[in-house]
Structure 1
Amino acid sequence: MSLTRRTLSLMPLAFTALALTASEHRALRRQVLLMGRKSPSSDGSYASFIKAMRKVHAKLTERLDFRFVDVENRAGHDPAAALRRALEFRPDLLLAPNGEFAKLATEVSGGVPIVFSSYVHPVQAGFATSMLRREAAITGVWVSEHLDGKRLELLRDAYPAIQRVGVMMDASWRQLADRLAPVEAAARDLGMTAQVFVVETAEEAQAVLDEPSSRDFDGWVLPRSYMAVLATPLIIKRLREWKKPLIVGNTADVRNGAAMSYATDTRFIWPSLATLAGRVLAGEHAGRIPIQRPQRYVLALRAGRDTGLPPPSAEVVRQADLVFR
């Protein structure tokens, strides 16, 4: 056989070897699909999850491809259709950072393993059948959150003159969390009145605050709904301009200027989601992993003059876990 003929005869084998190498390379990589709103740059959960994965599973993360799918429920956008299109890329794991997305994921995922975090009860909300074991491939973190009544109480105790309170939350929070412990009823029990504004975006929150009547409220409550992730900075800024107290559901927001926060200690959430994701990607059935639940609550407040508010009551300051002066 001539050298030329022998070379040509070996070429198919070479191409086959290259194809196998490329196939093996693809097989070594895993894909994680994260559900969010609008884009990775506007939805901080995307970066938070990747950062946690790099910290908890550095070597595994080197073999992961992260994708983002916009599943925001807004006019002209179909979240379910968007998720179905993203699932055509056959992800190995679906990350749902709130209860609304987790519910959508169970309806559309077609068996792709799901890891979620949620402030609503997974069983009561209908996207998990048990906290311990499930047939469906889903697990996650439940942050028990029925604290809006307690936030009202702490706001009143810190600033006793408060009578009328504005509350901003999104529709999912209203339906799944506030439904179980209505903030208006809690306000009546405390001798206060509360008005709930249901908003979905930072732009809608801005529109509420632009209404002249919004200045008439003595204080505001901002539950830790998903909308709060998007709108908290502008709400803090406006209420500081008005010198009106705001209590939120995220301790970090007090560092950024909110007057008060009463919240579940959430520092464990992203590391826990990363740990759960690693276990599922390693082959563990998600439904056999118990849903995790935290137990610690944190009261944080600002007591310095920079708030423009009168000092909060000494009683509430004594109760606080964190005081910023």
Structure 2
Amino acid sequence: MSAALFIALAVGLFDPCPASATEVLNNDERTTPTIAILGSAAAGKEDPSYQRFAKAWLARSSGCSSHHLAYLSGPEIQAQLDADFSRQLRQLSSDPRSIFVAPTAAFAESALPLLGPASLVFATYADPVAHGLLEPSGARHRHVTGVSLNDQLSLLRLTLLMEAFPRIKAIGVVADDSWAGEQFKELETAFRKQHPKVRLELLTANKASDLDAVFRKAASPSIGALYYPPSAIAYFEEATLIARTVALRKPAMHSTQGEVQRGALMAYSQDTSFVFDALADLVLRICRGEPAETIPVERPRRFVLSIRAQYDLGGAKIAPAVVSRADLVVP
């Protein structure tokens, strides 16, 4: 993908359709430092992450009026970086005042080798240590901080599912190979210790065309419920998964509040509503002179049990004790 940089002045006004400014990068006299949000859309106006960060930044930009707000578009995967995108990353990162905002682990990994003296602020659902963004010891040797949403709630979600439907004998876990390779075996071992008579069955799907086979297995009477951990397939095929699960009339535990609001039965989730405000706060602190590596990584502080009241389970009911603990009941 050919990289394109879009810049809007972050001084009292946010332009949701920023103009192309590649020529500004090529100007040797450019002295204004940049806050660059990394994304794969053609322009900032087409990227919800850029829009949400820009809105949060607008409320804070008076505290850092020296920087331009920018959108740098390119491939998310490091192996696919083209020469133009890499050049612009390097050119921006040569200025120690530049700040990159990476809304995913993939973008953060792409930027990290080219970071130079600039700073990086990330948000990721993946393990930031496993992806090289943080050191295992907790020490940070680069100018990096961010928001870690590394989800460790699968065992608790399954426990809640068992409390809600205590007669379940087997749970189908629908996930892609990436999530399964990293987490399923460990989850299965921990779950078996708590529920030795209940079986977890991995139902793997990496793309939409895999779902027919998954739901043929899920329809088996031996599978009493389904669990959708926060994997790529759950994100990209959310609507299909919800619709087909509703048609099965079987209990299912999801991983986000939004899934319940859009038709799913129940979810236990991290409250991620703080993410873009937190990213903007971290950028502001760096802009004001704090080294990124000295700023603590932000993590979720609130968790939400969401339940849909009207849901056809063929006569089965969620245990009243679980319903009474819900933070959100969707009509």
TM range, normalised to the smaller chain? Answer: 0.7 to 0.9
Contact 2:76–2:106, Cα closer than 8 Å, also in 1: no
1:64 alignment partner, one of 57, 63, 69? 69
C-alpha deviation, 1:47, in angstroms = 4.1
Separation (CA, whole Å) in 2 of partners of 1:208 and 1:98: 30
Separation (CA, whole Å) in 2 of partners of 1:38 and 1:309: 48
Match of 1:14 in 2: none
2:38 alignment partner, one of 34, 56, 59? 34
Does 1:117 find its partner at 2:147?
Answer: no
Contact 1:301–1:320, Cα closer than 8 Å, also in 2: yes
Instruction: Give per-residue Cα distances to partners, 1:203-244, cap 9 Å, x unaligned.
Output: 2564554x5223223222122234433222221111112222
Contact 1:248–1:261, Cα closer than 8 Å, also in 2: yes
Separation (CA, whole Å) in 2 of partners of 1:135 and 1:104: 17
Match of 1:173 in 2: 179
Does 1:245 find its partner at 2:251?
Answer: yes
SS of 1:114's equivalent in the other structure is: strand
Structure 2: unaligned runs, 5 residues or longer: 1-22, 93-97
Structure 1: unaligned runs, 5 residues or longer: 1-18, 73-78
Separation (CA, whole Å) in 2 of partners of 1:94 and 1:197: 37
Does 1:287 find its partner at 2:293?
Answer: yes
Instruction: Give per-residue Cα distances to partners, 1:146-188, cap 9 Å, x unaligned.
Output: 1111111111221223222222334443455x26x72322443
Match of 1:53 in 2: 57
After TM superposition, the structure 1 stretch with the greater mean CA deviation from structure 2, 87-96 or 136-145, is 87-96
Match of 1:160 in 2: 166
Match of 1:4 in 2: none
SS of 2:81's equivalent in the other structure is: helix
SS of 1:102's equivalent in the other structure is: helix
SS of 1:279's equivalent in the other structure is: helix
Contact 1:132–1:288, Cα closer than 8 Å, also in 2: no
C-alpha deviation, 1:127, in angstroms = 2.2
Match of 2:272 in 1: 266
Closer, same or farther in 2 for the Cα pair 1:112/1:24, shift >3 Å?
closer
Q: Which structure 2 residues correspond to residues 103-114 of structure 1 after superposition, within 5 A?
A: 103-114=109-120
Closer, same or farther in 2 for the Cα pair 1:117/1:287, shift >3 Å?
same
Match of 2:152 in 1: 146
RMSD between aligned alpha carbons? 3.7
Instruction: Give per-residue Cα distances to partners, 1:240-298, cap 9 Å, x unaligned.
Output: 12222221121122111111111122221121012213333455421121111223221
After TM superposition, the structure 1 stretch with the greater mean CA deviation from structure 2, 212-221 or 192-201, is 192-201
Match of 2:79 in 1: 80
Separation (CA, whole Å) in 2 of partners of 1:184 and 1:39: 42
Closer, same or farther in 2 for the Cα pair 1:237/1:29, shift >3 Å?
farther
SS of 1:311's equivalent in the other structure is: coil
Does 1:182 find its partner at 2:186?
Answer: yes
Match of 2:325 in 1: 319
Match of 1:7 in 2: none
Closer, same or farther in 2 for the Cα pair 1:269/1:24, shift >3 Å?
same
SS of 2:133's equivalent in the other structure is: coil
Separation (CA, whole Å) in 2 of partners of 1:221 and 1:41: 35
SS of 1:270's equivalent in the other structure is: helix
Paired residues in the alignment total 296
Closer, same or farther in 2 for the Cα pair 1:220/1:37, shift >3 Å?
farther
Q: Which structure 2 residues correspond to residues 214-253 of structure 1 after superposition, within 5 A?
A: 214-216=218-220, 217-253=223-259
Match of 1:8 in 2: none
Match of 2:134 in 1: 128
Contact 1:39–1:70, Cα closer than 8 Å, also in 2: no
Contact 1:141–1:293, Cα closer than 8 Å, also in 2: yes
